[in-house]
Amino acid sequence: MLSIEAFSGARIFTGDRFIDDQAVLVHDGVISDVIAEVAVPSGAIRRQLDGGMLVPGFVDAQVNGGGGALFNERPDIETIARIALAHARHGTTALLPTLITDEPRKMTAAIGAVRDAISSGVPGVIGIHLEGPFLSEARKGAHDPALIRTMNDDDLATLVGTGLETRLLTVATESVSQEQIARLVAGGVIVSLGHTNATCRQALDAAAAGARGVTHLYNAMSPLAHREPGLVGAALECGTLWAGIIADGHHVDPAALRIAIRAKRGPGRLFLVTDAMPTAGDANDQFHLNGRVVTRRNGMLTLEDGTLAGSDLTMDAAVRFAVNALELELAEALRMASLYPAEFLKLDATRGRIAPGFRADLVHLSDALLVKDVWIGGKPVAP
């Protein structure tokens, strides 16, 4: 008979609200019940927490690297495991290893590596995010313009036939047609718009074709103007579009993020992503991206010409920024780190809440929102 574990001693955030004097019962990696502490079965294994709060594990849809490892540099299972562990120590219990624009052979290797990581049970890996190469050179950001290209039928067949359940693809309207978006979506791919000069109308047409999201709102996209709202305007106005935000104080001014949060039309929402690079959770201040040097200075990652190249962010730091700089209520900041990205990725039947039937992906936070302990599928993550 499998044992039941009981987590108690902390406030519990269910994904909807905070509750006190309750315990979370976990059986075989799944939450079986949330009950009063005094009602915990006598035979349960007690996991007594020292105050703080127990919250749903964070879900990150955009992780390029961490712990000194970069997915583009070496797309294999060892790199993925190293990245996942680095972010798990900061509360991320589910993530998409993200490959930015690269050669076709690198894309093939990345897809195979993620498939192997999931089949091997690497904790926290739930799928893949391909950010490019089907982007716009005009909004390339740190992507290598020599590798950006338009999508063809072979590319589409590869993306639909990965064998992965969760596939996120960032595209530009300049490089992918509405028909291709519709075919990708019909094949189970989640399509996000980014690195594009799309007009508002073009973005709305892409949404009508099935595009579901916008990649790192404000960054590397057509801006909001009073006569041409651009992709930023489409993201905020279109209720079916979700959008990730990099809440680190470098990618977007806090005032612009606060405005976007207030303006976003639902049911789609804004959610937190890290866009993290190898420096996240690592002491080294430099790494190479497509042969170019990226340097960390004062928490900001840039190429030699000053172009932003991903972030040094972890999800727990993003939550703290959302509360302290964006002035969000704690419950909403936590939802932006867990429930909303789970909903965007269509994984909210098992992730993003502390409730019966959900995975026991749990984070114990201090009152200062520092990570104390993490569990993925009920198993503790090494500190």
Q: Give the mean pLDDT of the chain.
A: 96
- Give the pLDDT score at 150: 98
Q: What is the pLDDT of residues 352-362, one digit of tens each?
A: 999 999 999 99
Work out the percent of the chain whose per-residue pLDDT is above 70. Answer: 99
Domain residue ranges in the chain? 4-55+354-380, 58-344
- The reply to whether 4-55+354-380 and 58-344 are identical in fold is no
**Which has the closest alpha carbon to 244: 17, 57, 63?**
63
Please determine, for residue 1, whether its predicted confidence score (pLDDT) is greater than 80: no
**Which has the closest alpha carbon to 86: 101, 106, 107, 64?**
64
**Which has the closest alpha carbon to 95: 347, 357, 349, 264?**
347
- Give the pLDDT score at 18: 98
- Give the pLDDT score at 381: 97
- Give the pLDDT score at 2: 64
The pTM for the full model equals: 0.97
Please determine, for residue 383, whether its predicted confidence score (pLDDT) is greater than 90: no
> Which has more pLDDT, 306 or 335?
335
What are the residues whose beta carbons fall under 8 Å from the beta carbon of 278, sequence distance 6 or more? 64, 65, 66, 67, 68, 69, 70, 73, 284, 287
> Which has more pLDDT, 29 or 284?
29
- Residue 330, CB half-sphere, CA atoms under 13 Å: how many? 17
Q: What is the pLDDT of residues 155-167, one digit of tens each?
A: 999 999 999 999 9
Per DSSP, the residues of 43-76 read TSEEEE--SSEEEEPEEEEEE-EETTEETTT--S
The whole-angstrom separation of Cα 238 and Cα 229 is 12
Q: What is the pLDDT of residues 211-253, one digit of tens each?
A: 999 999 999 999 999 999 999 999 999 999 999 999 999 999 9
- Give the pLDDT score at 26: 98
Q: Which of 33, 155, 248, 275 is catalytic?
A: 275
Whether residue 275 lies in the annotated active site: yes
Q: What is the pLDDT of residues 32-75, one digit of tens each?
A: 999 999 999 999 999 999 999 999 999 999 999 999 999 999 99
Average pLDDT of span 108-113: 98
- Give the pLDDT score at 8: 97
Work out the percent of the chain whose per-residue pLDDT is above 90. Answer: 92
The whole-angstrom separation of Cα 249 and Cα 268 is 23
Of the options 3.40.50.1100, 2.30.40.10, 3.20.20.70, 3.90.470.20, the CATH number for the domain spanning 4-55+354-380: 2.30.40.10
CATH class of residue range 58-344: alpha beta
